[in-house]
Every structure is written in structure tokens, then in C-alpha cells.
Chain A
């Protein structure tokens, strides 16, 4: 009986996943998308449990219970600023599941050589490397490890030879029965390569990496679909693989990197190559009350948040500033650079958390035309994404990177801890312009100071 119903259940689950991704295109339908995605997953799990070949339930149910018991508090207790590391951790678990299933299938010894074994090798390779790479990404995002890129001489040679060795052993397993040491060595090399892939990556490149790891996890699941001959896995994996891939391409474009650069994991080269020769030049600075009076007399303000806002947890204070300015009839908008923060769309989530309506959050292409007609551009914790050198200086390592045109606003105010250069290690021309005021201090405290002044002046 179930044999006849099962294809229908899997088909419905696939439809659920496709609709889930489709409905994510609009905040109004997105929550519906999550629900349909959950239903899809539930159908997939129930359908699988009902399959006649599944006879041993005890440990499966225990496993489902333990996974839920850890996953649910993790999702609810992590603060919103920790979403990037939670996503990385979640990737690690998903990928580990794929990798372990691949391992179990391999040792069952029933996978024929050729195409099925090739799929198994791909599944295990991507599974294991995504596991370790995601753990390293998690450690960097959680700052258990230094977030700066860690590089050494011959790094690419070491990484690529590990990958090559893993692929050679994998190829051997596909072509002929391999000796017993082959699979453990393959696992070790895959995991090692995963570590090597992320070690040289600096914090600001994390959005691309997380998107790419997302894609790998998807392709691993699709490869598992080929091993198990299960189309639901193929569809879900392919959806996820292309979602991750397209996001990492968007991130690459926003940083002016080539895609091959990403595929070979050669991130962070830029930062290593950039020289930190920063000349001491005079800047104009201002206090919170001066900043408040400038904002008070403005008619339009564009706020440009960056990772510094997340670090300082300044989003709630920014919301207060938004309220205070909006109440005065000042138009306040937010300009979001695609790679601001540590994962794609990171800033939007933080500002939404602070209850800022999402129709005020505008992407780069939408808002860049508005800067010349804007009284104040307020940069909070962003740096390289507003550096005008990217437009003008052909010798600059960030030349050609699309930026937010903050410098075209009538007045620019930059909240920043000190004059230290940003991730790319280059000086920001914006800070020395005549219409720029530097507001030195912690983003949260400084915004709080401005809000207090605004409240007092009324």
C-alpha cells in the first residue's frame, strides 16, 4: 500500500520545498514559505518512516528527539547578531549527516562502481569538507579563532594538493575496488581541505564563504539522492545548491571578485597583499550634540550600517534615532550594501529586529541615485563599502568594487572607533573630504548621545 502512496508523498514534499523558496521572494509571503517548507520536510520524514525497508524505529525516534531537543533551544536562544555563526553551525551538522550516510553506504559495500560510487564520493567529499569548513567558519564568527585571514607561504599549494589527493583516491574508488586504507585517507584529506579552505578567509569575506558552503551542502544532499536513487533528495539538494551558488555569485560581484577566485578558496589574498601605509592626514570631528543639531536641521538622512553596527549592538539605538528623526518629519532611509556584515542580508535582519520597517531598507542600486539629494549620510560601522577610491583609484586593491555613494551626500558623518583602516587595509578617502565629519566613539554610545541631544532640544 505504502509503495503506491510514497511517490505521491515525496512529490508533495518536493512541491513544498519549491514553494518555500518561491515565497521567500516577498516578506509578505515568506512566513507562509517557511510553513510549507516545514510541511514538506514533515511529509518527507513521515513518508520515509513508513517505507517497508525501515524496520528499526527505536534509534531513529531517539535521534529525532535528540536533534529537536538541541536544535530548538539553539534557534531560540541565540541572539540575532549570532545568526551567521548559527547558520555556519547548522551547515556543519547538515553536512556531517550527509558525510556519515555516505560513509555508512560505502562500508555496506553494495554501491556499484562507476556512477553510483562517483555520486557517493562526491557526497562524502563535499560532506566532510563542508563540515570542517563550517566549523572553522563558526569558530571565526564566534571569535573563538582570530577573524583576520591566516596565511602562510605555499598555502594554496598545500590546500590544492590535499584536494587533488582526495580526488585521486576518490577516482580510484570509483574505478576499482580500493584498499581498506583508501576511504579513511579520503575522509582525512577532505576534512583537511575543508579546514584549509576557510583558514585564510577574513571576517569580511564570510558572506561569500557561508553562501558557498550552503551550496556545497546542497550538492552533497543531491549526490546522496543519486546514491539512494531518491528524486526528492535530488530536487531539494539542487534547489539548495543553486540558492547557495547564486548568493555567493551576488556576494562576489559586490566585492568585485571573480568567481574562480571563490571556487579555489583564494580569499583573503587582497588583505594580505594590501600594505598598511596610512598617512596621517587631518580630519574634522564632531561631538554628539553637534551631530544632533546637523541631523535636526536636515530634511533627508540616509543611514549606512556596517558590521561595526552589529559588533556594537547599535541597532536598537539606531531605531530610537530613526524614531526621533521621523517624528520631526525628517525622511530617514537605510542603504544596505550586499556584503555589509558577516552573511548575505545580515544588516536587514538586525534592523528588522530593532523594528525598523523593511520598506525603509534599500539596496545599493535602489538608493545610490538618492545620495546627491540627501542632506546627511550617516555611516555607522561601515568602511570599505563607502570608500570612493573604489571609483577613482585604479591602483587601489578595491578599485571597481561597487560602493554606496555616501560621499555624494551634502554632509557625511562617520561613526567610527578610530582612524584604523578597514578590512581591506586601505585608507578611506571619504574621511578626509571637506563635507565629512568624523564622530569618534562606540557606535551604540554615540547614537545614544545623539538621541539624548535630540530629545533635550525639543
Chain B
């Protein structure tokens, strides 16, 4: 029981930290922020690996785990790449162009 209690404290502190950090993000970057946090939520990939990599897993568990690995990886990859693609476009000064 102790570990759940500890987990709840971790959750509470991380949630407050998240609030404080996200509050400071300029509305300019709300879309990249959303896709970044979307990519972070794909941390579910950890659970997916644990489920599908177990020694004596049932077929159901293997299948569900495999699909979960695919979905979570897709989420990770798409989330980070699209965030980076968007952020690359934010420039302060105009790039020097040959005229």
C-alpha cells in the first residue's frame, strides 16, 4: 500500500509542476506544446513493452501488447516529428534570401 501512496504524491507534485510549466508557455507555441505533450503521453510504450515481452504471456496478451507497441510507437514518432517540424518554422527574423 505504501507504494501507491508514494505514487499519489509523485502524481500530485508532477501535476502541479506541469501546471506551473505550461502556464508559462506562450500561446504562440500552444500547438507544438500540445503535440509535444501528446508525444510524451505515448510513454505508454513502456507498459506496452512490459506486457508483450513477458516470459509466459498468453496469446491474447502477446497480441494486445504487440498492437499497443505499434500504436504507442506511432504516437511517439509522429508526435515528436510533427512538433519538430512545426518548431523549425518559428523564426524571429526573416531568413536571408538571395534576391
A-side interface residues toward B, CB under 8 Å? 17-18, 20-22, 24-28, 30-31, 33-34, 37-38, 40-41, 44-45, 48-49, 51, 53-57, 59-60, 62-64, 66-68, 70-72, 74-76, 78, 80, 83, 86-87, 89-91, 93-94, 96-98, 100-101, 103-105, 107-108, 115-116, 210-211, 214, 217-218, 220-222, 224-247, 250, 336, 338, 343-346, 348-349, 352-353, 355, 357-359, 361, 363
B87 contacts A94, CB within 8 Å? no
Q: B82–A107 contact, CB under 8 A? A: no
Q: Is the CB of A60 within 8 A of B11?
A: no
Do B43 and A237 have beta carbons less than 8 Å apart? yes
* Residue in A21, A105, A229 whose CB lies within 8 Å of B51: A105
Instruction: Give chain A nearest CB distance to B29 CB in angstroms.
Output: 6
A76-B81, A234-B14, A242-B15 given; A214·B87 CB < 8 A:
no
Q: Are B27 and A363 in contact (CB under 8 A)?
A: yes
- How far, in Å, is B24 (CB) from chain A's closest CB? 4
Instruction: Tell me the bound Cα distance from A363 to B28 in angstroms.
Output: 8
How distant is the Cα of A45 from the Cα of B96 in the complex, in angstroms?
A: 40
Q: Which residue on A lies nearest to B26, using beta carbons?
A: A25
The residues of A that contact B7 with a CB separation of less than 8 Å are 225-226, 229, 231, 234
Q: Are B77 and A352 in contact (CB under 8 A)?
A: no
With A89-B78, A101-B68, A231-B7 already in contact, 11 other A-B pairs whose C-beta atoms are closer than 8 Å: A24-B29, A41-B76, A72-B78, A86-B82, A91-B41, A94-B42, A97-B45, A98-B47, A98-B68, A220-B44, A363-B28
Given contacts A87-B34, A104-B51, contact A240 B40 (CB under 8 A): yes
A222 to B9, CA, bound (A): 12
Residues of chain B within 8 A (CB-CB) of A37 are 36, 39-40, 80
A116 neighbours in B (Cβ, 8 Å): 4
Q: Are A27 and B87 in contact (CB under 8 A)?
A: yes
Chain B residues whose C-beta falls within 8 Å of the C-beta of A232 in the assembled complex: 43, 46
A104-B68, A210-B34 known; A242-B44 Cβ under 8 A? no
Q: Are B71 and A235 in contact (CB under 8 A)?
A: no
- Closest chain B residue to A238, Cβ basis: B14
Indicate if the CB atoms of B43 and A358 lie closer than 8 Å. Answer: no
Please name all residues of chain B whose beta carbon is closer than 8 Å to the beta carbon of A31 when the two chains form the complex. 84, 87-88
Residue of B whose beta carbon sits closest to that of A338: B27
Interface contact A348-B53, CB-CB below 8 Å: no
Chain B nearest CB, measured from A120 CB (Å): 11
- Contact partner of A242 (CB less than 8 A), chosen from B19, B31, B49, is B19
Tell me, in angstroms, the Cα distance from A116 to B77 when the chains sit together: 30
Please, could you name 15 A-B residue pairs with CB atoms under 8 Å apart, sorted by A? Answer: A17-B40, A31-B88, A48-B46, A59-B52, A90-B74, A93-B72, A100-B65, A105-B51, A107-B61, A211-B34, A235-B11, A238-B11, A346-B31, A355-B94, A363-B26
Contact in complex: A247, B66 (CB < 8 Å)? no
Interface size class of B (residues with CB under 8 A): 35 or more
Are B73 and A344 in contact, CB atoms less than 8 angstroms apart?
Answer: no
Q: A27-B90, A241-B18, A344-B31 known; A218 and B41 CB under 8 Å?
A: yes
Bound: A358/B94 CA distance, A: 10
Indicate if the CB atoms of A357 and B91 lie closer than 8 Å.
yes
Interface centre among B23, B49, B55, B95 (most CB of A within 10 A): B49
Is there an interface contact between A63 and B66, defined as CB atoms closer than 8 Å?
yes
Verify A100–B27 contact, CB threshold 8 A. no
B94's closest neighbor in chain A, by CB? A357
- Top 10 A-B residue pairs of the complex, sorted by shortest distance between their CB atoms: A67-B73, A345-B30, A63-B69, A71-B77, A242-B18, A54-B53, A75-B81, A238-B14, A344-B30, A94-B75
Q: Check if A222 sits within 8 Å of B37, measured CB to CB.
A: no
Contact call B10/A231, Cβ cutoff below 8 A = yes
Cross-chain contact B27 with A63 (CB below 8 angstroms): no
A55 touching B54 by the CB < 8 A rule? Answer: yes
Partner of A353, one of B1, B64, B89: B89
Q: Which residues of B contact A44 (CB under 8 A)?
A: 43, 45-46
Point out the residues of chain A lying under 8 angstroms from B86, CB to CB: 80, 83, 349, 352
